[in-house]
Amino acid sequence: MVISAAGTITIYEKGGHRMVSVGIDVSKGKSTVCILKPYGEIVCSPFEVMHVEKELESLAELLQRLDGEIRIVMEATGIYHLPVLTFFQEKGYFIAVVNPYAMKKYAKDNSIRGAKTDKLDSITIANYGIDKWFKLQKYESDEEIYAELKLLGRRYRHYMEQHVKALQELIHVLDYTMPGIKKLLKSWNEANNKDKLSDFVDVFWHFDTITSMGREDFLSAYMEWARERKYHQSQSKATEIYELASNGIPTLSSSTPSTKMLVREAVSVLRTIDSSLSHILARMQELAKTVPEYSTVRAMGGVGDVLAPKLIAEIGDVRRFHSAKALTAYAGIDPPPYESGQFVGSNRRITKRGSSTLRKVGYEVMRVLKSHKEPEDHAVYRYILKKESEGKSKKLAKIAGLNKFLRIYYARVNELYS
């Protein structure tokens, strides 16, 4: 630390500004802090701070002693940076939360050896603050909604992965007791939180429970079950199930004590996960409706009550992107330029260097848009059809449609704020 005998710190000026860049390399439970001023002058060499109030208060007291304009710079690190962000945001400091890829690119362009430690990272982040001083974007309080949405979105994706595994486990058990039943009954529906397959096999857990009733009694029982569970009371569906049960060959006996338990335990696990998904989605919908762009996004083709909050959660505040091209790059669906001499490449793959979650949500929007057959005058739908007519595969046509969709998204939402 460079401190005079009077206990003050000299701050050099750059462009008329006395700048102090506080670079914070965040990790789980602690951070490494480096404080720099212009021209590489070190105010404080890298030191560690635990994410507890006492140590963060000590850092705040240190910053109060500094003479100059202070800007705190950190990387977005999932949830680990949130305690530091919240603490210093409440104290009114200018905080810039930088995209990790942008920081990685900066570090690569400004490092020869390529060494990586927490101390070196904190120095790099502080240098980034000095070099990008006039381009740093202040983290605004309204971003908390987007941050919460993004966190919920990531947890939703996690539980959805668990849902897929739990559903596979249930189907695996049913292959022993009711082979083929999955083809006749739909599983969990995101939109209405209903799972016909689980509801059915929780009651009729083995083919023997169906055939032992006899045809007419089962048809009557199925209609009553459908009425109570508020499903469509289809006698033809009940007949299909009875025929399947009559001709099916279970490989696990209904008389085995564990059979019923295994089916119902698999159903219970699946229902628990689906309940978590339902609660998270409800909170996402509640939050999404508080941002100005919700109704605009919700009205776009292919977007409904489920996909609208997911889109907003992954894109966040669209104003942080300087152009529509930046948004498509964030999604990782921008084809990088390839030129060499007189050659200009035209057959280029997308980078996939961006948010994989946004790509998945966006692709789902394209799938819904295409399956629902939007009107021919719908720009994105028409664009997908055009690409298919040019010989593109259905998947590539949807990706091209997503690129156009995100450009329209950027224009429409930006128009709200302008």
Burial of 16: CB neighbours in 10 Å, binned 0-12, 13-18, 19+: exposed
Tell me what percent of the residues of the chain surpass a pLDDT of 90. 62
Q: Which of 25-29, 188-192, 268-272 has the lowest mean pLDDT?
A: 188-192
Q: How sure is the predictor about 193, in pLDDT bands with cuts at 50, 70 and 90? A: confident
Whole-model pTM above 0.85?
no
Q: Which residues contact 79 (CB under 8 A, 6 or more apart)?
A: 151
- Listed residue (367, 366, 157, 175) closest to 277, CA to CA: 157
Q: Is the confidence at residue 349, as pLDDT, over 70?
A: no
Q: For 35-46, what is each residue's pLDDT tens digit? A: 999 988 889 999
pLDDT of residue 129: 94
Residue 104 pLDDT level (bands cut at 50, 70, 90): confident
Task: Tell me the percentage of the chain whose pLDDT exceeds 70.
Answer: 88
Q: Is the model's pLDDT at 338 over the cut of 90?
A: no
Q: What would the mean pLDDT of 303-317 be, rounded to a whole number? A: 92
Query: pLDDT band for position 192 (50/70/90)?
Result: confident
Higher pLDDT, 351 or 123: 123
pLDDT classification of 6: cutoffs 50, 70, 90: very low
- The answer to whether the beta carbons of residues 71 and 129 sit under 8 Å apart is yes
Distances in Å between the Cα of 3 and the Cα atoms of 17, 43, 182, 326 are: 20, 8, 73, 43
Nearest Cα neighbor of 363 from 287, 302, 314, 278 is 302
Average pLDDT over residues 300-313: 92
Asked if pLDDT for residue 147 goes beyond 70, the answer is yes
Which amino acid does the sequence have at 231?
A: Y
* pLDDT tens digit sequence for 278-294: 999 999 999 999 989 99
When the pLDDT of each residue in the chain is averaged and rounded to a whole number, the result is 87
